[in-house]
Amino acid sequence: MSSAETYVVGSAFDVEQGLQQLIARGYQFVHPTNGAGEVQAVVGVRVHDNVVDVVRLNAEDDVEATRLPGSEQNIFAPASTLWRSRGEASQVLGEVLALPERPPAPAATANGCWVPGRGGRSKWLAAR
């Protein structure tokens, strides 16, 4: 079992230690405030391997985490996500720490197709 898996499985998850682990992995945290200067959330962001990981802690029982494509325009209202979780801090932070460091490679896209040719042979027809 990896150290990340112990965060998910262990019953005594330490949220502060989980946040320190995220910082050690390169997350940068900001603390947006309202007009009165009160902290509204704690938001961590990490950009790596053409993805963006975002963790938003609104309260200890209201945490959302997402992994987005690096091309996503708005990380707070994404059009697409690669992974998402929402729930209590201990659960969601454990899941974030258990994510693979490198996302799976995208499937190769074909730029053409095979078509039947003469004599039972196929021929690659490139797309333009």
In tens, the pLDDT along 20-70 reads 999 999 999 999 999 999 999 999 999 998 899 999 999 999 999 999 998
Q: Is the pLDDT of residue 101 over 90?
A: no
Cα–Cα dist 59/71, whole Å: 29
More confident of the two residues 116 and 9: 116
For CA atoms 8, 67, 27, 42, the dihedral sign is negative
pTM for this entry = 0.70
- What is the chain's mean pLDDT, rounded? 82
Q: Is the pLDDT of residue 5 over 80?
A: no
More confident of the two residues 70 and 5: 70
More confident of the two residues 76 and 80: 80
Rounded to 5 degrees, φ, ψ at 111 are: -115, 50
pLDDT of residue 7: 43
Q: Is the pLDDT of residue 82 over 90?
A: yes
Residue 119 confidence class, pLDDT cut points 50, 70, 90: low
